[in-house]
Structure 1
Amino acid sequence: MSLFSYRFGVLMCISLMGMPGYIHAQPRTDRLLRQLLFNNVDSLFHHVITHADTYRLQILYVQINRDAHNRPHFHTYAYHADPDAYFYPASTVKLPLACLALEKLNELHIPGVDKYTRMQIDSAYPWQIPEWTDSTSENGYPSIAHFIKKALLVSDNDAYNRLYQFVGQQAIQEKLHARGYRHVQIIRQFMGLTAEQNRYTNPIRFIDADGHVLYRQPALYNPVPVSSGPPIWVGNAYMDREGKRVDHPMDFSMQNRISLQDLLYMLRAILFPQSVPEKARFHLTADDYHFLYQYLSQFPGETNYPRYDADVFYDTYVKFFFRDSSHHHLPPGVRVFNKVGWAYGFLTDASYVADFEHHVEYMLAATLYVNRDGILNDDQYEYEEIGTPFFYRLGQIIYQYELHRKRKHAPDLSRFQIPYEQRDTTDTRPTIKQVDN
């Protein structure tokens, strides 16, 4: 028996990776995408797509066709897509949090308070952590802009927690649901807090360069109980907070959640706001949009603040559809505007790809679960063995198809051409080699 046959024979003998609670209506699969996927002969890729239930696989591919006036028209193709099928969204929830934080600043209408204004975060309860300074920023202080940069560039967890604390649990839910994003529940920070502790957020103040308080936000509390709904079982067992094994599936009903459809539509609402109903858009300024476009697509190694190590946080570090183990750069002329997440064995990427050299654009999103032993919280997941190779292969299938797909009108992509930062070669500060993500 070959190593490959043995490896995937073992995979097929696991407990279908938490199949209880994963029974839904027939997932949607469209012929074109199915044909594209099954034309690929890579054995690992073929195994995953033919066992989509086992891997909780979902894929959405969006063709974008421009008319004579450069207006985009979208057509979505699905493979095994089901908005009711649970996957743990991990860091992908940082995308809507970035938008909600910018939106809240705009709605405050306080002179001198914007995304670049210095912040100081206090604590009101024992489990909360204050943050008055930030050595990775240019002025030494935190700000909403700096948190968003870190959340998008390398998927920094502390940055997400601070955005969550600024917006507040209640507002997050209400604002996203009001926009029609119904398959969303963002109720947890990435701090190991209890469900009750996550209802509380830190007191925050915005200050000017002289330390004068411009705006003070008190500690917030969500008085609306979070309805967990029925249990969402994943895995066979899990390791609890004390490191002890619990021999039954883990319930994710009180964890964050988002459907792949909602996640990709949020990205579309950011990049193509005029293409979605006004209700689904975020209330952002032109500068907000430009800021998001830059840091959704800028490389960590191009950025001066924070000064990430370009060898550790290489160009495709958070670009799963182009992340090859032997090649860490995007094709010439390509930029990817996206957000990824990985945790508990789940990997997810929602991307807009723009190839300025070949005048190609499309959107692609996928989620996958790789946990051979069925145990959660044991840090034994097949991210590098199965997950990222699958995402890279999927990305290449769609990219190559798009390179050869005929278009009636070539897209004008100039609004996505960003004057990216250039790394200051005279800067002698040590680079950042590790983050909590």
Structure 2
Amino acid sequence: MKYWVLIVVIFASCSNPIETALSSKNELIKTVVSDIKKHEVQILFTQIDTSSSGEMIFTDYEYNVNTNQYFYPANTIKLPVALLAAEFMDANENLNLDTPYIIGDDDNLHTVSDDIRQIFAVSDNESYNRLYEILGRDYINNRLREKVLNNTRVVHRLSTPEADKASRSNIRFFPGYTEDVIELKNQTDSDITPVTIQGINKGKGYIEDGVLKESPMNFSEKNYFPLEEQHVLIKKLIAPEVFPAAERFDLSEESRTRLLSAMKALPREAKYTSPEYYDSYVKFFMYGDSKDAIPSNIKIYNKVGYAYGTLTETAYIVDTENDIRFILSATILVNENAIFNDDTYEYENIGIPFLAQLGREIYKQEKERRE
């Protein structure tokens, strides 16, 4: 099947669906739009249609997207790492997603497939950190450059001491009872090169070791995953044929299918039965401000991130009953006091409600377009 992409329509056009969504009279939107520059909002939206001959057609729209304007990507960085881990396992004929492995001195067996399950179902940090130990920042970033994701960079683990250390844990894979153990030993990465783009110093202060530092927080040695490249990565997963062969990831069709299945799985579908893991636990668009069950006809293939006051989501959203498909990516900063790392952010009363309503506004337009 052939795929092609139509022209990008910029925000200035009155027919831009993002502009229409942001002009909503809904208070969840208006609260942010009234001071949208402060919130550092960026939005990308792709309509998906099918031609009479069965070809997929993308029509792209954007608002305030700037790859050179830094925002902290938080857990969205797990998306490319999960993809690259699946690709890494595919590339070794003796390994697969279900091959057991042990990390460091830990006696617990893990699999990449289970790490991916936990990453997308509840955004588990330890699972991400294990995949980081397997791949390392040099491999991750070199591979992303090869696939023309030139501005994304992964340089540290998440929520762990010495998150950015160059040395990595030894890994032992166990392909089978009759095969030799495959080891990754004495792995060390290059030093981090600081990022030098706009917005790398944020706020008027930050907390370090319990002490307020009255100067902007420097993010130059943090991960970065610009919104445009998040959006492109979703496209490469759902429709790799759109891209030249050299720019596609070398995933087997089975691995790609399993990765997409993990991305859309709700926590309860991924073995998380605790009430704290409600359907929209890590799905902000359309449903993030509700703990009600997501309707069975709505499938959301996504990754969210939230940390340091920044909320981000990139998602492929499908309504199987109404033949609606679209891609939506957005980021917003909610940090009223401009102090970072103080755990005082407006996630619940401004950020998540905005993203939820943005998703609903876009979905409403798409449903009307189908009628």
Q: What TM-score do the two structures reach when normalised by structure 2?
A: 0.91
Q: 1: distance between equivalents of 2:195 and 2:289?
A: 39
Partner of 2:258: 291
1:265 matched to 2:232: yes
Q: Deviations over 1:350-393 (max 9, x none)?
A: 00011111111000010000011111111111000101110111
8 Å CA contact 1:29, 1:78 repeated in 2:
yes
Q: Structure 1 residue 300: deviation in Å?
A: 1.1
More moved, 48-57 vs 284-293: 48-57
Partner of 1:172: 140
Give 3-state SS (helix, strand or coil) of 1:78's partner: strand
Partner of 1:118: 100
Partner of 1:396: 360
1:376 matched to 2:334: no
Q: How does 1:101-140 map to 2 (within 5 A)?
A: 101-110=85-94, 113-122=95-104, 130-133=105-108
> Residues 167, 175 of structure 1: CA spacing in aligned structure 2 closer, same or farther, 3 A cutoff?
same
Q: 1: distance between equivalents of 2:342 and 2:58?
A: 41
* Letter in structure 2 aligned against 1:366: A
* Letter in structure 2 aligned against 1:181: L
Q: Deviations over 1:380-431 (max 9, x none)?
A: 1100010111011101000111111148xxxxxxxxxxxxxxxxxxxxxxxx
Q: Structure 1 residue 132: deviation in Å?
A: 2.5
Match of 1:245 among 185, 204, 212: 212
* Letter in structure 1 aligned against 2:186: A
Q: How does 1:10-49 map to 2 (within 5 A)?
A: 29-31=11-13, 32-49=16-33
8 Å CA contact 2:200, 2:218 repeated in 1:
yes
* Letter in structure 1 aligned against 2:74: A
Structure 1: gaps (5+ residues): 1-27, 123-129, 134-140, 408-437
8 Å CA contact 2:155, 2:192 repeated in 1:
no
Give 3-state SS (helix, strand or coil) of 1:320's partner: coil
* Letter in structure 1 aligned against 2:151: H
Structure 2: gaps (5+ residues): 1-9
Q: 1: distance between equivalents of 2:311 and 2:244?
A: 29
Match of 1:352 among 299, 304, 316: 316
> Residues 99, 213 of structure 1: CA spacing in aligned structure 2 closer, same or farther, 3 A cutoff?
same
Q: Structure 1 residue 54: deviation in Å?
A: 0.3
Give 3-state SS (helix, strand or coil) of 2:40's partner: coil
Q: Structure 1 residue 39: deviation in Å?
A: 3.6
Give 3-state SS (helix, strand or coil) of 2:57's partner: strand
- Counting matched residue pairs gives 359
Q: 1: distance between equivalents of 2:68 and 2:33?
A: 19
Q: What TM-score do the two structures reach when normalised by structure 1?
A: 0.78
Q: 1: distance between equivalents of 2:298 and 2:232?
A: 22
Match of 2:272 among 299, 303, 308: 308
More moved, 270-279 vs 342-351: 270-279
Match of 2:60 among 55, 76, 84: 76
Give 3-state SS (helix, strand or coil) of 1:184's partner: coil
Q: 2: distance between equivalents of 1:105 and 1:351?
A: 25
8 Å CA contact 2:18, 2:362 repeated in 1:
no
More moved, 178-187 vs 38-47: 38-47
Q: 1: distance between equivalents of 2:176 and 2:148?
A: 39
Q: 2: distance between equivalents of 1:255 and 1:67?
A: 42
Match of 2:47 among 63, 69, 79: 63
> Residues 35, 367 of structure 1: CA spacing in aligned structure 2 closer, same or farther, 3 A cutoff?
closer
Q: Structure 1 residue 311: deviation in Å?
A: 1.9
Tell me the C-alpha RMSD between the 2 structures.
Answer: 1.9
Q: 1: distance between equivalents of 2:142 and 2:193?
A: 12
Q: How does 1:275-286 map to 2 (within 5 A)?
A: 275-286=242-253
Q: Structure 1 residue 316: deviation in Å?
A: 1.4
Partner of 2:286: 322
Match of 2:110 among 139, 142, 152: 142
Q: 1: distance between equivalents of 2:80 and 2:268?
A: 24
Match of 2:369 among 382, 405, 411: 405
* Letter in structure 2 aligned against 1:108: N
Partner of 2:5: none
Partner of 1:232: 200
Q: Structure 1 residue 318: deviation in Å?
A: 1.1
Q: Structure 1 residue 326: deviation in Å?
A: 3.9
> Residues 328, 322 of structure 1: CA spacing in aligned structure 2 closer, same or farther, 3 A cutoff?
farther
Partner of 1:182: 150
Identity %: 29
8 Å CA contact 1:153, 1:298 repeated in 2:
yes
Q: 2: distance between equivalents of 1:59 and 1:403?
A: 20
> Residues 132, 69 of structure 1: CA spacing in aligned structure 2 closer, same or farther, 3 A cutoff?
farther
Structure index of larger Rg: 1
8 Å CA contact 1:317, 1:328 repeated in 2:
no
Give 3-state SS (helix, strand or coil) of 2:237's partner: helix
